[in-house]
Chain A
Amino acid sequence: MKKFIALALSVVMAFSLAACGTTTEKEPITILGQSSSEDNLNIIRDQLENAGFTVTINMQPDYSSFQRAKEAGNFDLAVTGWTTVTGNVDYAVRGIYHSTGDYNDSPIIDEKVDELIDKGATEIGEQAAATYTELENYLITEKAYLVPIYSTVKMLAYNNQLLKAESINQPKSRPGRWEAYEYIDAANNDTRPLVLTQTSASPTSLDPIQANDGTMNTLSGNMYVKIINLSDDDEITTDSSLSYAYAIAEGNSEYYFLLRDDVFFSKAEGGHAVNTGVRVGGEDVVFSLERAADKNSVASHKTYTLHNHMQTIEMVTDLSELSSKVDASTGASVLETLTAGIDGQISSLTTDKTAVNNAAGTYQVIKITTTEPFPQVLNYLAHQSAGILCEEQVMSLNSKFTVEDYDATKDVCYGDFGAIKAGDNHLWCSGPYQFVSVDDYGITFEKNPGYMADSEFAPKIANVYMKFIKDASSATSSFRAGEVDLLGTVAATDVSLIEQDSNFTVMKRDSNGVTYCNFNLREGSKFLNEDLRKAVLYAINQEDFVLFNNGYVMPVYSTVGTLIDTGNVLTQDLEASAQYLAAYQESVNG
């Protein structure tokens, strides 16, 4: 019997011994992220564990708790993202890498980085490209301040039996242009509402300068006209903007815009959009851009840093000023450049928008002077936050209180979504579509009858309905069921599902959205050590992310990479990673 027991005991011992594995010295690291980036967290965890790290994941359910955990410094590596909505490099770097940047909270404090960003802002063309490439090399290759993960592919799906394929646009940076959309059956244009969808049912604000986020970008972008636009490929264009033409005077500090006379404000009346008969003129442009550049123009100014390079905005009264200034790119006079954009001649300039008559040669010209030579100001002017508002209408609300005394609980300022939802639709729209009404399920838009009515830019579809669908997979289901006509964003996992149906087309293009990881660079963090940062950098394999997302993301080296081809590629190098890790551990252990 004793033999039996001894045998049995040794069997059990063998089981338990075999169950215990061996452990080696590993470097602990905490990765912070939101639950929406769970997939990224998992892939990064896996790759770092293979490279000799012990990974703890700190996953926060939403953006605000993520931000709080980040501020508290409870992380080593934080998965975050940046989308360059203006399509210019300055926006892609200043906010997140410059020591004064609004979103540089890891933080990167490095004089050389600041210097390069400031230098790049004043340059154009190849010169600028070289500076930004140098910045990228320094940031990643030399210092490993951040770990690039991927850039997203923008995807849009539409019903190809319903909508004209050539009318569907998918701009790289700016929101989609609704005015171009057209039904295959032209009879539908006037009668059938186009159903779009967005996740948020409560836009932050419908005043372009009081918000700059996914809840209202698309709405504001189609409600207000800008004096300049970005093309679908992020080129500066006057198409569907308030200008016929623009010119940059020599020195890159003075910018001229020749305004159109066929854009009028619309308003909602009796459940429909009506033309107010009030022209969108130079006075409104001056008013709107001055308040965009003035930090104290509203109580919560969210886009001030985009516009603080503008020193003065004025209307030009003297035609001779235009003929005396030289265009920076062509060498001709500014007047010639501006005239090239119209059929007739500019015979006189006026500061009174009611006196404008383009047919008779009376025009308005806006001149913007920047604090320093800054050609990228045009990109910022094309941003939704530079949308043109009606001075009288805005002041009729905002003059009732002062900015200092503004109390969000009782004062109603222009664009207050709560007040609009409660029935006070005070919005006057200068863009192609007028906000008519909103309820819990969606927003009804109607085309602005006074928007470039006789031009090619006049909106084609009369009614647009923006349906609120909170969750991406429900939106996909609604789209497949035909309840939604056009899906602005498609998840990588849904693409094949949608493409199975020949009635649907998924459009794909590169975008300026970049996902990357920040290191904790606060005092006391071990990631102030460059070797340790590089050990993480070289452990990352971007190919895995591409594979996981079915090829709907692309490798990227930094936020600069989607705008300028720097030629940099991040390749996983586990050997280098191990060497850097060993170097770090040696330096710590003496």
Chain B
Amino acid sequence: MSMIFGVPLAVLSGQLLIGIINGAFYALLSLGLAVIFGLLKIINFAHGAMYMLGAMTTVLMFDYLGVNYWVALLLAPLLVGAFGVAIEYFLLRRIAGQDHIYSLLLTFGIALIISGVLVNWFGVSGLRYAMPDMFKGGVNLGFMFMPYYRAWVIVAALVVCFGTWFVIEKTKLGAYLRAGTEDSQLMQGFGINVPLLISLTYGFGVALAAFAGVLAAPIYSVTPVMGSATLITVFAVVVIGGMGSIGGAIITGILMGVIEGLTKTFYPPASSAVIFLVMVLVLMFRPSGLFGKEA
């Protein structure tokens, strides 16, 4: 067996793979945060709860309605996205003119309610979601074993990330979004329905989180509290990358996943902390973030 730095290649590449997958989740989640932040200028503290809702709806729809994975992949983000639109319309909009701190606190309260209610219904021990049949097994790449599902997660996350980047940077709708980020009043003056755009943006960002949740359901333990710890890590990722660019959010997410995976191989005790340590370093030497423009 070939070794690299005293670690078997298979172990190293296995951890790298897990790192890339975790990174794909960080990328999807920080992308959603960045999209919401762009137009609404708020940090969505309910993002972790929405990710969790995506995973929970997938499991529950399967258990009670027999909805399969592929339908869930479409339906869960739609449902959670609609929920997000409702939250924006009924709650966030009411404090739109206020200090952004309030909307942050509001979404924090919403997250407490959602996860608290679900903990009561389902407890904190994980729900099981069976791996879809077609993803069972994997392929031997010679130096490592690649489970099909993991490969799928990477592909799906990258496609969605790239699609989002494309829509925002290259299409007319994206141009509206970017213009709204610059000056939403002027946009309104041009006859564009900004409130609707804001609702849909929040819904879309939240749907991205739910999509990540569906992807996570077969490989992570699905619990009502799965979102909160992930969200804090994603915050660190966002601080590292800055929310200035969509591409930056994606790259930083995957990079941090890989660093975490490598740490797990070489020095396991630090693996849960390493992203936060990177954040400290970035704050010391490049306070505006790797891709950020403003402080």
Q: Verify that A and B bind, or say they do not.
A: no
